[in-house]
Amino acid sequence: MTAKRYLLVAAVATVIAAPAIAHHSSGPFYDPTKKVEVKGVVTKLNIRNPHSFLYLDVDEKGKKVEWQVEMGTGAQLARNNLTVETLKPGTEIRVAGQPSRAEGSHGMCCIQLLMKADGTAILRGTVPKEPGR
């Protein structure tokens, strides 16, 4: 896998099919004015409350780096047809969202694009990080 990381302004959101839902509680952790996109291999999907997390291994200049993608509650994922069956370990995916703020961290939230490596869309639009927290 080749990692590809972009930092773009929020205007990118205009090309996303579904409008982003404001999630201010993600502000301390993720930068809503930027976008990051990576390609990687799913290692696990933890469907939990108050947050579910998707983990993937990403090749960054020959080094394997674990990315942590924050997602919504189990019910929210189910409404978007996202289950552990959808994102089995070993699945190659592209995912884009808001990048984490901490230096050296590898995380994102508020997914704007999630697709398999062959281009099959898994999700397009924002998956709320976790409303109400």
Q: Which residues bind other proteins (CB under 8 A)?
A: 21-26, 28-30, 46, 48-53, 68, 70, 75, 100-103, 105, 107, 109, 131-133
Supply 14's token pair: 């205009």
- Tell me which DSSP letter residue 18 carries: S
CB of 40 to other proteins, least distance (A): 17
| Cβ proximity to other proteins, 103 vs 118, nearer residue | 103
Dist CA 120 CA 94 (whole Å): 10
| Cβ proximity to other proteins, 17 vs 78, nearer residue | 78
Query: ∠ at Cα 42 (85, 132), nearest 5°?
Result: 75
| Cβ proximity to other proteins, 57 vs 92, nearer residue | 57
